[in-house]
Amino acid sequence: MNALTLVFAALCVFAIAYRFYGLFLTRTVLGVKPGRPTPAVRMADGHDYVETNKYVLFGHHFAAIAAAGPLLGPVLAAQFGYLPGTLWILVGCVVAGAVHDTVVLFASVRHKGQSLAYIASKEIDKFTGSVASFAVLFILILTLAGLSIAVVNAMHDSAWGTFTVFATIPIALLMGVYLHVWRDGDVKGASIIGVVLLALAILAGPYVVEHPVLSSWFNMSRHTIALSIPVYGFAASVLPVWLLLCPRDYLSTYLKIGTIAALAVGIFWVHPTLQMEAITPFVNGGGPIIPGAVFPFLFITIACGALSGFHAIIATGTTPKMIGNERDLLFVGYGAMLTEGFVAIMALIAACVLVPADYFAINSAPAVYAKLGMTPVDLPHLAQAVGENIQGRPGGAVSLAVGMAHIFSSIPFMEHLMSYWYHFAIMFEAVFILTAVDTGTRVGRFFLQEMIGTVVPKFAEKRWMPGILITSALFTASWGYLVYTGDISTIWPLFGMSNQLLAAVGLLIGTTMIIRMNKAKYAWMTAIPGLSMVVITFWAGYLNVMNNYLPKGLYLLSSLAIIVMCLMAVVIVGTVKRWMQLLAIQKTVTDEDGEEVLQVVTE
Task: Kindly write down the DSSP assignment for every residue of 509-546, as one continuous string.
Answer: HHHHHHHHTT-GGGTHHHHHHHHHHHHHHHHHHHHIII
Higher pLDDT, 579 or 395: 579
**Residue 494 lies inside a defined structural domain of this protein:** yes
Whether the per-residue pLDDT at 170 is higher than 90: the answer is: no
Is 201 domain-assigned? Answer: no
* Cα distance between residue 4 and residue 352, in whole Å: 12
Say if 72 falls within a structural domain: no
User: Which has the higher per-residue pLDDT, 450 or 601?
Assistant: 450
Its domain, for residue 328, covers 1-41+92-102+136-156+219-353+375-595
Burial of 401 (0-12, 13-18, 19+ CB in 10 A): buried
pLDDT of residue 600 exceeding 60, the answer is: no
Are 530 and 504 a contacting pair, CB within 8 Å? yes
- Residue 564, in any domain of the structure: yes
Q: How many domains does the chain have?
A: 1
3-state DSSP assignment of residue 72: helix
pLDDT of residue 602: 45
> For residues 521 and 358, what is the distance between their CA atoms, to the nearest angstrom?
50
For residues 86 and 297, the answer to whether their CB atoms sit within 8 Å is no
User: In sequence order, which ranges of 211-271 are alpha helices (DSSP H)?
Assistant: 212-218, 222-238, 245-270
Tens-place pLDDT, residues 455-500:
888 887 777 788 888 888 998 998 888 777 765 545 567 777 888 9
Query: Which CA distances in Å does 144 have to 315, 448, 458, 518?
Result: 16, 15, 27, 37
Round the average pLDDT of the chain to a whole number and report it: 85
Q: Is residue 511 part of a domain?
A: yes
With a pLDDT cut of 70, the percent of the chain lying above it is: 95
Q: Which residue has the higher pLDDT, 78 or 427?
A: 78
Query: In the prediction, which pLDDT does 599 show?
Result: 61
Q: Is residue 476 part of a domain?
A: yes
Question: In the prediction, which pLDDT does 154 show?
Answer: 65
Residues in the chain: 603
- Say which range, 22-36, 209-223, 359-373, has the weakest mean pLDDT: 209-223
Predicted pLDDT at 450: 78
Residues 6+ apart with CB under 8 A from 318: 48, 60, 64, 241, 245, 246, 439, 442, 443
Q: Higher-confidence residue: 219 or 26?
A: 26
Q: Is the pLDDT of residue 603 over 50?
A: no
CATH number at residue 443: 1.20.1740
Helix, strand or coil, per DSSP, at residue 291: coil
Side chain identity, residue 556: L
Res. 572 pLDDT band, cuts 50 70 90: very high
More confident residue, 427 or 326: 326
The backbone region for 594, taken as left when phi is positive above 0, alpha when psi lies in -120 to 50, beta otherwise, is: left
Looking at residue 490, what is its pLDDT?
Answer: 58
In a domain, 484, yes or no: yes
CB 79 within 8 A of CB 350: no
Out of 7-11, 250-254, 311-315, 366-370, pick the least confident: 250-254
Residue 384 lies in a domain: yes
Residue 485 CA: distances (Å) to CA of 138, 212, 477: 18, 30, 12
Instruction: Tell whether the model's pLDDT for residue 274 goes beyond 50.
Output: yes
Q: Are 414 and 390 in contact (CB under 8 A)?
A: no
Q: Is the pLDDT of residue 28 over 90?
A: yes
What pLDDT score was predicted for residue 153? 67
